[in-house]
Amino acid sequence: MRIALGIEYDGTDFFGWQRLKQGDSVQASVEQALSKVAAHPVEISCAGRTDAGVHGRCQVVHFDTDAVRDMRGWVLGGCSNLPPSVAVLWAQPVPDSFHARFSARSRRYRYHILNRPVRAALDARRVTWERLPLDVDRMHEAAQVLLGEHDFSAFRALSCQAPHPRRTVLAVRVHREGEQVFVDIEANAFLHHMVRNIVGSLSVIGRHEAPVEWMGELLAGRDRTVAGPTAPPTGLTFIGPRYESYWGLPAEVSMAEEGA
């Protein structure tokens, strides 16, 4: 039987999603918890790996098991065996043809910036602090050049192992809510550090240290060395993937049906 789960986590205390030989990872924590519930070793596949310090609002994973448990048992049993910073949100049986990574049509990230003169205390684990005023309108305008399919080499980490740098950005929005600035971006897939590198360059434009047109120049130039800095991981949250509605997954990870 194949089961899909929604996973929420605070990535601050982990060395990233992927299981490592040394150091805590979200994947290892979830696998250990599910293995206790299943009473056999469980390996999971995820929709998108996240780096050290990056959070997950609704990561989707799948695993195969012969253990007979109701879906509530996977949720409650998983949560009871996980650290406080990780939770199973839901569990659902899926066809064997479903794959958390390969069935996903897109992925969504949100970058959260606290834009005020004083650093964060309560939200320090979940935001990046920028003390200088950010011009959100300039940032949003600059970000629109990213829409569509492009070579994103200018925003690709040197350590990226993707076979090619072309990705398709489906939506991008920069907006402000009081002292909070949010960068929301959805794409078919992402390169290593792609969102954080984009945010780093948008912040330069938001501080009026570069013109709005600079974003397009960076994209066309494909040179990571002249783009903005890599934004810290603390402000980045993987909101989750999107799947075709026929998989029957919760609305938060499903594409809207046409005409709905």
What pLDDT, on the 0 to 100 scale, is given for residue 137? 98
Is the per-residue pLDDT at 41 higher than 60?
yes
Say how far apart CA 222 and CA 153 lie, in whole Å: 5
What pLDDT, on the 0 to 100 scale, is given for residue 218? 97
Grouping H, G, I as helix, E, B as strand and the rest as coil, residue 196 is: helix
Is the per-residue pLDDT at 29 higher than 50?
yes
Identify the burial level of 157 via C-beta atoms within 10 angstroms of its C-beta, where 0-12 means exposed, 13-18 middle and 19 or more buried. middle
What pLDDT, on the 0 to 100 scale, is given for residue 17? 96
> pLDDT category, 31, cuts 50, 70, 90?
very high
Class of domain 2-103: alpha beta
Catalytic residue selected from 51, 64, 123, 151: 51
Identify the burial level of 87 via C-beta atoms within 10 angstroms of its C-beta, where 0-12 means exposed, 13-18 middle and 19 or more buried. middle
Q: What is the pLDDT of residues 193-242, one digit of tens each?
A: 999 999 999 999 999 999 999 999 999 999 999 999 999 999 999 999 99
Instruction: End-to-end CA distance of the chain: give it in Å, rounded.
Output: 31
Is the per-residue pLDDT at 243 higher than 90?
yes
| Average pLDDT, rounded, for the chain | 96
What pLDDT, on the 0 to 100 scale, is given for residue 22? 82
Question: Positive or negative CA dihedral for 23, 109, 71, 62?
Answer: negative
Is the per-residue pLDDT at 161 higher than 90?
no
Lowest mean pLDDT among 135-139, 213-217, 254-258: 254-258
Query: How far are the Cα atoms of 13, 69, 188, 200, 203 from residue 223, in angstroms, in the given order?
Result: 32, 51, 22, 14, 18
Nearest-10 Cα torsion for 38, 41, 47, 51: 120
Question: Positive or negative CA dihedral for 153, 156, 158, 162?
Answer: negative
Is the per-residue pLDDT at 52 higher than 90?
yes
**Residue 51 falls in the annotated catalytic set:** yes
Is the per-residue pLDDT at 260 higher than 50?
no
Domain ranges of the chain: 2-103, 106-238
Query: How far are the Cα atoms of 11, 127, 248 from residue 181, in angstroms, in the given order?
Result: 20, 10, 33
Q: What is the mean pLDDT of residues 164-182?
A: 97
Q: What is the mean pLDDT of residues 181-204?
A: 97
> pLDDT category, 258, cuts 50, 70, 90?
low
Element (H, E) at 119: none
Fold that domain 106-238 belongs to in CATH = Alpha-Beta Plaits (3.30.70)
DSSP category for residue 219? H
Contact call for residues 91 and 75 (beta carbons, < 8 A)? yes
Task: Report yes or no on whether pTM surpasses 0.75.
Answer: yes
Three-state DSSP string of 147-166: CEEEECHHHCCCCCCCCCCE
Query: How far are the Cα atoms of 126, 137, 232 from residue 152, in angstroms, in the given order?
Result: 26, 23, 19
Q: What is the pLDDT of residues 79-101, one digit of tens each?
A: 999 999 999 999 999 999 999 99
Say how far apart CA 244 and CA 132 lie, in whole Å: 41
Common-topology check for domains 2-103 and 106-238: yes
What pLDDT, on the 0 to 100 scale, is given for residue 14? 96
239 Cβ contact partners less than 8 Å away, ≥ 6 residues apart: 57, 58, 108, 109, 110, 184
Is the per-residue pLDDT at 144 higher than 90?
yes
The CA angle 126-127-129, to the nearest 5 degrees, is: 150
> pLDDT category, 257, cuts 50, 70, 90?
low
